[in-house]
Amino acid sequence: MVRRGSQILAVSVLAVGLAVSGCAKRPATTQTTAPSPTGAAGATGGAGTTEGAVGSQPGTGAMQPGTAGTPGTAGTPGTQGGAVTGATTTPGAGGATTSPSGTARPVVKDYAAVPELRDIYFDFDRYDVRPGDARVLDTNAQWLRSNPSHLVLIEGHCDERGTNEYNLALGERRAKSTMNYLVSQGVQASRITIISYGEERPACTEKNEECWSRNRRAHFLVKSR
């Protein structure tokens, strides 16, 4: 009986040893998701000290701090007088483009600046339309209503601080907030396309606040249809 018990114990120990050695050979895997081309999720780290490295807070016009070292939570853009729906977002060369559903992506070179449509500017790390800039948009909307044969392309831009992905997302929110305001003033959403360049096309390249404030903008281009 003692011998049989010893045999059973030896078999059990051998089985456990084989199981352990088999587990050790299996590699550990971690699944990750690449960021959206339009930067829908915030980049890693940071507590809002740059235009990047923070998460987004829906509907406030501000990009709120995320948890350091982890992706921020994706949010939705705040609206200025009404939200615009039915848009399809696709990555474009040198930026992320959004155009009305069912329409072809715009050819940017077909659009040109006109002096009647003035740029608006944004506070650091925000995408809400400021009161002074709302008056600029009122004038822009009036011109667009008076020229219904023109389509408009709104470019969203950021200063250089922050990651490329985050600034593409922030530029898109700025362009969308601008679009929403124009729609609230009677401009047809079907006439408007937005594109985000993030930090890629600065109006000024000096490293100071005066220069950065000129880069945080929405820029307008038009073409006849």
Look-up of token digits 């060369």: 93
Q: How large a percentage of the chain has pLDDT more than 90?
A: 51
C-alpha 165 chain-centroid distance: 7
Q: What is the 3-state secondary structure (H, E, C) of 128-156?
A: CCCHHHHHHHHHHHHHHHHCCCEEEEEEE
Where along the chain do its domains lie? 87-224
* pLDDT per residue as tens digits for the range 9-62: 555 544 444 444 433 333 332 222 223 333 333 333 333 445 754 434 434 576
Q: Residue 89 in 3-state DSSP?
A: strand
Q: At residue 146, does pLDDT exceed 50?
A: yes
Q: At residue 130, does pLDDT exceed 90?
A: yes
Look up the pTM and report it.
0.62
According to the model, what pLDDT value does residue 98 have?
58
Q: How large a percentage of the chain has pLDDT more than 70?
A: 54
* Helix, strand, coil share of the chain (percent; to 5): 30, 20, 50
Q: CATH assignment of 87-224?
A: 3.30.1330.60
The stretches of the chain forming alpha helices (DSSP H) are 2-24, 131-146, 164-184, 209-215
